[in-house]
Structure 1
Amino acid sequence: MAKAFPPELTSGMDEPCRFDLEVFDLEVVEGEVPADIDGLFVQAVPDQVYLPDVPVLYPMTIAAGGDGAVRAFRIKDGCVDFRTRYVRTERFELERKARRPLFGNYRDPFSDDPSVAGKDRTTANTAIYWHAGRMLASKEDGLPYEVDPVTLETRGVWNAYGAITSHTFTAHPKFDPDTGEMFGFGYAARGETTRDIAYYVIDAAGKVTHEAWFEAPYSAMIHDCALTEHYMLFPIMPITSDLDRLKAGGPHFVYDADLPQVFGVMPRYGSADEVRWFRAPHAFPGHTINAYEQDGKIVFDLLETDGNGFAPVVPDKNGAPMPPDGLTTRHVRWRIDYRADDEHLVEREVLAIVNGEGPHIDPRRQLKPYRHVFVPTLDRGKLATDVNGRPYPVMFNQLSHFDLEAGTREDWYPGPAATFQDPVYFTKSADAPEHDGYLIATLNWPLERRSELVILDTLELARGPVARLRLPVRMRLGIHATWFDGAEIPTWR
C-alpha cells in the first residue's frame, strides 16, 4: 500500500503526480500556435511512485531519484496534443507488482530491499534523445530505455544489440550531424563508485564501432561531455562518490571544494593510453554548450559556477553553506591544446554572466563556431517574497538570449513567482538564421499550482509568448527537454 508522502514532497508544485495522462488538443488561451511548427517537445521527469523506505531521505533522492516519466507535446498544424507516461523500467515494474517501495536512496544499492539485489535500479528520468530511429530515455546510472514516440509505451532496455557492456550510460551523448554517429560513455561503468569509464562510438544504424575503457583520476560525477571533429571531452565534476560512505548510509555524492577542475580529452577513436587529463583552478563545471576546433586547439564552451552548483541536493564535504547571496554562473570558454607538454590550463575567457543552466544552441552549429545561446536564467532582483520577506522557491524566472558576437542579452520575464522548466530551441526552417527560431517551455506558477506551455519567437523574445496553452494539471519539475523535428516523428493523429 502506498504511504503518504512527507512534507518535503507535498509542498508547492513538486508533489508527485503519479499518473499517466493524455489530453487531446490543448486549449490555446492567448495568441496562436505557429502553423510552421511540426515536431515533438519531450521532457524527462523524475516522479516518485513510492517513497523509499530509508532512515534518512537525502535531497538528491527527492530531486533526482524519482521514477522516470516522459512528458511529450506533439505540435502540428497549429494544434498541440499532450501525453505523459511512466517509463516501465525493471525497477518500476518490480515496485508496482509489490505495491511498495523496494529501492532506497539515490544510487545506493545498500539501502534497497534484499529481494531486489542485483536488479536494474535506473529510473530513466534525466534526458531523452533520438538515435538510429529510436527514442531513448536515460539516466546516467544505467542503460537507456527505448520508448515509442507516439504511444510512449516502453519497448525495453537499449544496449546497441548487446555491445554496450558498461553498467551505465550517459544521459548526454553527443552526435555528429554529418555522420549520424553517437558518442557516449558510462562512468562508474563497473559499478557504483568505481573509477571506470567505458567510451563508445555508435554508428547511425545503432551499432558500436569503437570502444575504450579507462579510469578517471577519482570517482566523481561526469554528467556531460563535449565533442569536436577529432576529440571527445569529459569534464569531471567536483562531487565525489565513496564506497565506504555509501555502505555506512551516507549520501552518494559529496562536494569537494579542494579539487581542481579536470577535463579528460581523447581522440574520437582513441585508446585508453591516449586520454589526457587537463587541470584548471577549482570551479563547478555545469552543462556543456558547444565545442569545436580552431587554430589547432579545442575551443570548449560550458557553464561554470563559482561554488557547489548542486548545493540544494549535494552536501559540502566540510559542511560549508551556500553563500547568502547565491552563486554566480558564467559562460566560460577554454582553449585546450591536446598536444601541449603542460596539462595545466590557462586560456580561459568569460563570455557572459549567465546565472542559469540548461543552455541551448542552434543544432546546426554543433561542433562549429556559433554566436547565439538560449538559457533559462535567474534574476534575483525580481524574486517575489512572501509576507515574511522570504523569496518564493523559483529556479529560473527568465528566458534569456545571449548574442556572443554583439555582447548583448535579451530576456523575457513572465512575472513574480513564476518558474521555468528546461526549454527547447529550434530554428524556423533549415535555412533560417541561427537566432531565428522558437523557444518552447513549460512555465509553472507555484502559488497558483498551475502550469502552462509557452511558445516564443526568438526574434521578439522580450515581447513574450506568441502562444500560451493551458495545461489542465500541474507539471512537476522535470529535468532535460529535447525537440525532435516532425520529419523524424510520426504524427499522433
Structure 2
Amino acid sequence: MTKPFPAALAEGIDEPCRFDIEVADLELIEGEVPTDIDGLFVQAVPDPMYPPEVAPLWPMTVAAGGDGAVRAFRIKDGCVDFKTRHVRTQRYLLEQAARRSLFGNYRDPFSDDPSVAGQDRTTANTAVYMHAGRLLASKEDGLPYEIDPVTLETKGVWNPGGKITSKTFTAHPKWDPANGEMHGFGYAARGETTRDLAYYVFDADGEMVHEAWFEAPYAAMIHDCALTEHYMLFPLMPLTTDLERLKAGGQHWVYDPDLPTVIGVIPRKGRADQVRWFHAPPTFTGHTINAFEEDGRIVFDAYECDGNGFAAVMPDKHGRMGDPSKVTTRAMRWRIDYHAPSEELTEHQVLAVADGEGPHIDPRRLCQSYRHVFAPTLNRSRLITDRNGRVVPVFFNQLTHFDLTTGHREDWYAGEGATLQDPVYFPRSATADEDDGYLIVVLNRPLEKSNELVILETRRLAAGPVARLKLPVRLRLGIHSNWIDGSLIPAWR
C-alpha cells in the first residue's frame, strides 16, 4: 500500500489525482456550447502516482515533477466529453511495477533509486501538440511520447526513423503554417547540464529533414523558441545548471540575475557555424509570443520578467527564494539584424504590461505579423484570503485580450476566489478575422476543490462565458494546453 503524500503535495486543490477516467457529456451549468466548435482541447498535467521518497523535496519537484497525464475535452455538436489518462512512460511503468516512487528530484538522476540508474526519466508532462496526425506529449528532458488522440493510450516514444540523436526535445516546437514544417530542438542534448543544442526540422509528414548541433554560451534552460520566414530563435533563460551542484545534492536550476539576455539565431535549416548569439542587459525571458520579419530584420516578441520569473519554485544563485508578487511580467519586442556587425541588442520595446504567462495567438499568424494576443493574467487587487486568513495562491484570475495595434486591453475576471489554468485560443472559422474566435479554459475553485470548463467568445470577452460545464471530479493544475481541430485527427475525418 502506498504511503501518504508529503504535505507539500497534499494541500489544496493541487493534491494528486492519480486516476485515469472518462466522463461522457459533461453537465452544463450555464449557457450553451457553440455548435460550430469541433475539436479537442488537450492539456499536459504533472500528476504523481506515488509519493516521492527523496529528501529534501525541492519545490520544482512538487510543481513539475509528477508523472505526465493527458487531459482531453472532445467538443462537437454542442456536447463535451472528458477523458484523462496517464502517459505510460518508461518511468511510469517502472514505478508501477515496483509500486513505489523510484525517481527523485526534478531532473536529478543522482537522487534516483539505484535500480533505475540510466533509465529514461522523462514524465512527458509539460505540453501536448499534434504533428503529422500524431498527438505528442512532451517534457523537455526527454523525447516525446505518441498518444492516441481518441483513446489517449500511449503508443511509445516518438522518434521518426530513429533519426533524433538528441537525448531531449522541446515541449514548445514551432510550426510554419505555410508548409506544415515543425521546427524543434533539444537542449542539454547530450545529457543533463551540458551546453549542447540539437536543432531539428520535420516536414508535414513527420519525416526529419534537417539536423544541426552546436553549443549554447552556457548551460541554461531554453524552454521556448521562435520561428520566422528565414530564421529560428533560441532565447536563453537566466537559469543555470551545474553537474557538481547536482552531484552534491543541490537543485537543478538556479536563477542568476547578473547574466545578460542571450538570444541565439540560426537560419532555417542552417549549419552550426551560422549561429549568432545576440546579447543585451539582463532580463528574464519567458514564453515567446511570436516572431516575424520586417524591413530586413527579425521582430521577436516574448514575455519578460523584471526578476526571477520562477521565484516560487527556483532559488537564486545565493540560495534565496524570491517573492512572485514582486515580479512584473511585460510583453516585450526585440528587433534583431542577423547581418549586423555587432551582436549587441539595443532596440527593445514594451508592448504591454501582462502580469501573466502563456500567451496565445491565432495559429495562422505564426511566423507573420500579427495584432492580437490572448493570455491568462493576474489582477493583484482582487486576491482573497481563506478561512485562516492566508492569501489564496493565484497565478491567474483573468483572461485578457491585448490589441497590440491600438494598445487596448479587455479583461474577463473569473470571480472571487476563482483561478485559471492555461487557456487555448482558436479562430471561429478558417476565414474568420484574427481576433474572432473562442477561448477555452479550465477554471479552478480552490476553496471548494472543484473545477469547471469555461468557453468564451473573444469579441465579447468581458461579457463572460457563453458556456460553463461542471467537472464531476477535482482536477490538478495542468501546465500547457493546446487546441486541435477535429479535421486534423485521422480517426475523425
- Equivalent position of 2:31 in the other structure: 31
Give the 3 Å change call, closer, same or farther, for CA 360–108 of structure 1 in structure 2.
same
- Equivalent position of 2:313 in the other structure: 313
CA distance in 1, matches of 2:56, 2:486: 45
- Equivalent position of 1:214 in the other structure: 214
- What TM-score do you get using the length of structure 2 for normalisation? 0.98
- Equivalent position of 1:64 in the other structure: 64
Cα distance per residue 1:346-383 (max 9 Å; x no partner) = 00100100000000001111111111000000010111
Q: In structure 1, the residue corresponding to 2:69 is in which secondary structure? A: strand
Contact 2:87–2:153 under 8 Å retained in 1: yes
- Equivalent position of 2:436 in the other structure: 436
- Equivalent position of 1:394 in the other structure: 394
- 1:135 aligned partner, one-letter code: L
Q: In structure 2, the residue corresponding to 1:115 is in which secondary structure? A: helix
- Equivalent position of 1:467 in the other structure: 467
Question: How far is the alpha carbon of 1:106 from its aligned partner?
Answer: 0.5
Report whether the alignment pairs 1:104 with 2:86: no
Q: In structure 1, the residue corresponding to 2:244 is in which secondary structure? A: helix
Report whether the alignment pairs 1:163 with 2:159: no
Question: How far is the alpha carbon of 1:414 from its aligned partner?
Answer: 1.9
- Equivalent position of 1:10 in the other structure: 10
Question: How far is the alpha carbon of 1:160 from its aligned partner?
Answer: 1.6
Q: In structure 1, the residue corresponding to 2:162 is in which secondary structure? A: coil
- 1:121 aligned partner, one-letter code: R
Give the 3 Å change call, closer, same or farther, for CA 270–491 of structure 1 in structure 2.
closer
- Equivalent position of 1:83 in the other structure: 83
- 2:441 aligned partner, one-letter code: A
- Equivalent position of 1:427 in the other structure: 427
CA distance in 1, matches of 2:395, 2:305: 15
Cα distance per residue 1:374-400 (max 9 Å; x no partner) = 000001011112356532111100000
Moved segments of 4+, more than 4 Å: 490-493
CA distance in 2, matches of 1:25, 1:324: 38
Contact 1:150–1:490 under 8 Å retained in 2: no
Question: How far is the alpha carbon of 1:415 from its aligned partner?
Answer: 1.2
- Equivalent position of 1:385 in the other structure: 385
- 2:412 aligned partner, one-letter code: W
1:28-427 maps to which residues of 2 (within 5 A)? 28-323=28-323, 325-386=325-386, 389-427=389-427
- Equivalent position of 1:485 in the other structure: 485
Cα distance per residue 1:291-350 (max 9 Å; x no partner) = 000000000000000010001111111244435852110000000000111111000100
Contact 2:173–2:225 under 8 Å retained in 1: yes
Q: Which moved more, 1:378-387 or 1:88-97?
A: 378-387
CA distance in 2, matches of 1:432, 1:35: 16
Give the 3 Å change call, closer, same or farther, for CA 168–342 of structure 1 in structure 2.
same
CA distance in 2, matches of 1:153, 1:423: 24
Cα distance per residue 1:277-302 (max 9 Å; x no partner) = 00111111010000000000000000
Give the 3 Å change call, closer, same or farther, for CA 237–407 of structure 1 in structure 2.
same
- 1:226 aligned partner, one-letter code: A
Question: How far is the alpha carbon of 1:486 from its aligned partner?
Answer: 0.9
Question: How far is the alpha carbon of 1:455 from its aligned partner?
Answer: 0.2
Number of aligned residues: 493
What are the ranges of 5 or more consecutive residues in structure 2 without an aligned counterpart? none
Q: In structure 2, the residue corresponding to 1:66 is in which secondary structure? A: coil
CA distance in 2, matches of 1:386, 1:33: 33
Among all aligned residue pairs of Structure 1 and Structure 2, give the percentage whose two residues are the same amino acid: 72
CA distance in 2, matches of 1:55, 1:222: 27
Contact 1:219–1:242 under 8 Å retained in 2: yes
Contact 1:21–1:85 under 8 Å retained in 2: yes
Contact 1:40–1:489 under 8 Å retained in 2: no
CA distance in 2, matches of 1:246, 1:366: 38
CA distance in 2, matches of 1:453, 1:360: 18
Give the 3 Å change call, closer, same or farther, for CA 279–47 of structure 1 in structure 2.
same
